[in-house]
């Protein structure tokens, strides 16, 4: 493991807290150390209080902050002495502890202090770093792990048996650390949990973390338990898209809400899923307590949907009382599925949730396989897993009302998504919580939004093979389809019928009509398996009810697509798929309408550009965002009982009216 400390970077951070921010970010950059909000850091600083008296404060990472992006505001400043007094109590429930820590803050607007605040306060060092380093967790989660840790580090670390994070762990460390620590002590290993290092400076604490983790990696290399041999995996033919969509629908029904389901089938995922002892090693439990919370329960091996349903039933039978506030059904359920054909699946209400579960389990797989090579993987006991999963603090979180955006857990496919109306539609769906698959010829589409809920695919919608490949990729990422917006199309230069070549005619119809028909046919079975209902919106044109001269091919193609949508609405009603059409007009914030073209058209009519843009009954400008909002609303609950409709969005056109 390489140190990321750079003097020129460090010089940009001033003061003790500034350097605490810097080294915290260094730790957060390395996923082999911390993942998605895991890990913890702190610094003790002497500051004057309101009375001008010097008071020692502990700045510790606040709840909800990720080390990789943490700022000074992400550290919760608590008064050190009141926190240390908490450690003298014989008993303190974790909710009581959380409340006491909150009241110890010197800034009421600060984030809630970490559950490890008391532990950080007890350690007699200015800077404290805590990670879930893969190499160290591999050692502690293997047969004879405690002995290996003591052999490797000797007196340089104090070894603490596993205890659930929170007050219990702080109390145990308060007893064991002073008795075992000596002049050579630079760290502390929590079995089945992670590694602490400390120092007088931020650099010293960080450097010690890198050194101890590097020693663990080198030890595993010497034991031939670091490199995982990954033979090339024989892959079965790609599963039918409908099979994945059907599984997603069943899981969503069990959860009582739409879910996203992503699968990873690279060599590591398939190697693990096909391990001869997978049902044993995968069922022992996550690598750390933090992973218990984030992956929820043990993974399901195979597509055992009934086990997923039973997980909910068992949970509610044992833990839901009539007096308790209702819990969100998804929260106690497993997040990971292990399948020998499909690989490793991750489930989440959002793409971010699924991505977090997937990445955490990817590291868990590596820890398990390395520990197996070292002599055998040994995780937390069933009792410890149960205690962590039903931790008081987690249950408090679950009972807090959480309002989700209306399309949370749903997937929208938008064609022509890189610009104009297509981009406006994608933005509106993302804003409503949907995951979006965006198709476009533009090679910039994959980088349009760099976020887990957007998958941009460069694709020519007239290329059937490319469209099928795009659908496969989308299903691999999100598990199914709920909403489809067919927007891709072209508006050719004006040409009257007498001058319109057969080649130009066929080109327009191939893109605007034939490609739309083929895509409708491909997505129909997926929309029929949507957890709620399938929805399709086709972007038509004002030219359908009011065509203009010189637009024969375009007008005919949009009229045909509209008629196709009407037939689909009739045929797909039994599948509870609703199909509607929007007819925009004069949407000028697209690539077709350059400032020069706009000025030319305005001059032609003797208008200013603004007058030309608002030349409609309501004298309003219609933007791509406006169209996107209408399209998204058509897919929402307001139009739940509408299908086969055609809605203009043109500010009112006198020829149409």
User: Following DSSP, what letter does each residue of 50-119 receive, concatenated?
Assistant: TTS-EEEEEEEEBTT--GGG--GGGEEEEEHHHHHHHTT-S---HHHHHHHHHHTBS-TTSPPBPTTHHH
Could you give the residue numbers annotated as active site? 554
Q: Calculate what percentage of the chain has a pLDDT beyond 90.
A: 74
More confident residue, 115 or 635: 635
**Among 35-39, 131-135, 394-398, 579-583, which is the least confidently predicted range?**
394-398
Q: What CA–CA distance (Å, rounded) separates 5 from 23? A: 8
At 482-524, the pLDDT tens digits run 999 999 988 888 889 999 999 999 999 999 999 999 999 999 9
- Residue 81's pLDDT band, with cuts at 50, 70 and 90, is very high
Asked which of 66-80, 143-157, 303-317, 354-368 is least confident by mean pLDDT, the reply is 303-317
**pLDDT for residue 386:** 59
- Percentage of the chain beyond pLDDT 70 is 89
Contacts of 246 (CB under 8 A, 6+ apart): 529
For the residues 516-545, what does the mean pLDDT come to?
97
Q: Is pLDDT above 60 for 297?
A: no
8 Å CB contact between 57 and 96: no
Question: Confidence class of residue 239 from pLDDT cuts 50, 70 and 90?
Answer: low
Least confident of 239-243, 357-361, 454-458: 239-243
Mean pLDDT of the region 424-429? 98
Flag whether pLDDT at 29 surpasses 50: yes
The backbone torsions φ and ψ at residue 344, rounded to the nearest 5 degrees and listed phi first, read: -110, 120
* Mean pLDDT, residues 191-198: 94
Q: Is the pLDDT of residue 207 over 60?
A: yes
Burial 285-318 (b: 16+ CB within 10 A, else e): bbbbbbbbbbbbbbbbbebebebbbebbeebeee
The residue among 315 and 218 whose pLDDT is bigger is 218
**CA 43 – CA 80 distance, rounded (Å):** 11
CA separation, residue 114 to residues 161, 166, 260, 524 (Å): 21, 9, 30, 48
Query: Band of the pLDDT at 325, cuts 50, 70, 90?
Result: very low
Q: For residue 177, is pLDDT > 90?
A: yes
Main-chain phi, psi angles of 272, to 5 degrees: -65, -45
Whole-number average pLDDT of the chain = 90
64 pLDDT band, cuts 50/70/90, is confident
374-412 residue pLDDT tens:
999 988 776 666 566 555 555 445 445 568 899 999 999
- Tell me: pLDDT of 655 over 80: yes
Distance CA 241, CA 528 (A): 12
The pLDDT value recorded for residue 390 is: 53
Q: Is the Cβ–Cβ distance between 39 and 64 less than 8 Å?
A: no
pLDDT of residue 335: 84
How does residue 208 score in pLDDT terms, banded at 50, 70 and 90?
very high
Predicted TM-score (pTM) of this structure: 0.88
- Work out the pLDDT band at 314, boundaries 50, 70, 90: low
């Amino acid at each position: 493991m390489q140190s990321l400390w750079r003097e020129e970077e460090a010089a940009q951070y001033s003061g003790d807290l500034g350097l605490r921010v810097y080294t915290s970010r260094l730790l957060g950059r390395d996923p082999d150390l911390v993942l998605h909000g895991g890990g913890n850091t702190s610094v003790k600083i002497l500051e004057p209080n309101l009375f001008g008296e010097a008071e020692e404060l502990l700045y510790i990472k606040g709840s909800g902050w990720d080390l990789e992006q943490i700022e000074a505001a992400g550290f919760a400043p608590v008064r050190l002495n009141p926190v240390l007094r908490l450690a003298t109590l014989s008993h303190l429930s974790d909710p009581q502890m959380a409340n006491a820590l909150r009241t110890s803050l010197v800034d009421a607007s600060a984030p809630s202090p970490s559950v490890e605040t008391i532990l950080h306060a007890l350690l007699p060092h200015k800077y404290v770093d805590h990670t879930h380093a893969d190499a160290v967790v591999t050692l502690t989660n293997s047969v004879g792990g405690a002995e290996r840790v003591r052999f490797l580090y000797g007196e340089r670390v104090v070894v603490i048996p596993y205890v659930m994070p929170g007050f219990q762990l702080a109390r145990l460390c308060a007893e064991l650390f002073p008795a075992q620590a000596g002049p050579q002590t630079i760290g502390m290993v929590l079995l089945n949990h992670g590694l602490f290092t400390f120092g007088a400076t931020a650099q010293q604490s960080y450097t010690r973390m890198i050194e101890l983790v590097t020693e663990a990696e080198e030890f595993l290399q010497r034991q031939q338990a670091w490199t995982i041999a990954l033979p090339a995996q024989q892959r079965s033919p790609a599963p039918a898209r409908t099979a994945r969509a059907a599984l997603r629908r069943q899981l969503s029904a069990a959860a009582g809400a739409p879910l996203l389901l992503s699968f990873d089938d690279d060599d590591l995922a398939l190697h693990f899923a096909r391990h001869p002892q997978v049902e044993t090693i995968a069922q022992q439990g996550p690598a750390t307590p933090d992973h218990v919370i984030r992956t929820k329960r043990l993974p399901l091996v195979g597509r055992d949907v009934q086990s997923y349903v039973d997980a909910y039933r068992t949970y509610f039978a044992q833990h839901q009382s009539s007096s308790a506030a209702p819990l969100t059904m998804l929260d106690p359920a497993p997040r990971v599925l292990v399948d020998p054909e499909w690989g490793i699946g991750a489930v989440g209400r959002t793409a971010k949730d699924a991505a977090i579960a997937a990445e955490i389990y990817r590291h868990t797989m590596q820890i398990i396989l390395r520990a197996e090579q070292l002599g055998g993987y040994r995780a937390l006991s069933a009792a410890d897993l149960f205690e962590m999963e039903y931790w008081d603090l987690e249950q408090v979180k679950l009972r807090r009302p959480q309002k989700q955006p209306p399309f949370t857990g749903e997937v929208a496919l938008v064609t022509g998504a890189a610009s104009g109306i297509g981009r406006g539609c994608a933005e509106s769906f993302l804003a409503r919580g949907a995951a979006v698959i965006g198709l476009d010829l533009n090679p910039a589409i994959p980088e349009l939004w760099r976020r887990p809920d957007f998958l941009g695919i460069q694709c020519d919608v007239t290329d059937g093979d490319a469209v099928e490949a795009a659908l496969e990729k989308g299903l691999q990422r999100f598990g199914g389809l709920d909403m489809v917006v067919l927007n891709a199309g072209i508006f050719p230069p004006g040409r009257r019928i007498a001058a319109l070549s057969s080649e130009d005619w066929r080109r327009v119809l191939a893109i605007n009509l034939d490609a739309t028909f083929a895509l409708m046919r491909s997505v129909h079975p997926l929309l029929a398996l949507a957890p709620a209902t399938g929805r399709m919106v086709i972007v038509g044109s004002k030219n359908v009810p009011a065509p203009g001269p010189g637009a024969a091919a375009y007008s005919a193609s949009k009229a045909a697509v509209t008629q196709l949508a009407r037939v689909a609405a009739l045929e797909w009603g039994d599948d509870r798929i609703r199909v509607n059409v929007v007819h925009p007009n004069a949407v000028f914030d697209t690539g077709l309408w350059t400032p020069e073209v706009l000025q030319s058209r305005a001059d032609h009519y003797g208008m200013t550009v603004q007058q030309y843009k608002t030349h409609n009954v309501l004298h309003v400008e219609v933007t791509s965002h406006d169209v996107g909002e209408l399209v998204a609303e058509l897919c929402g609950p307001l139009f739940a009982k509408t299908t086969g409709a055609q809605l203009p969005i043109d500010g009112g056109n006198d020829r149409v009216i």
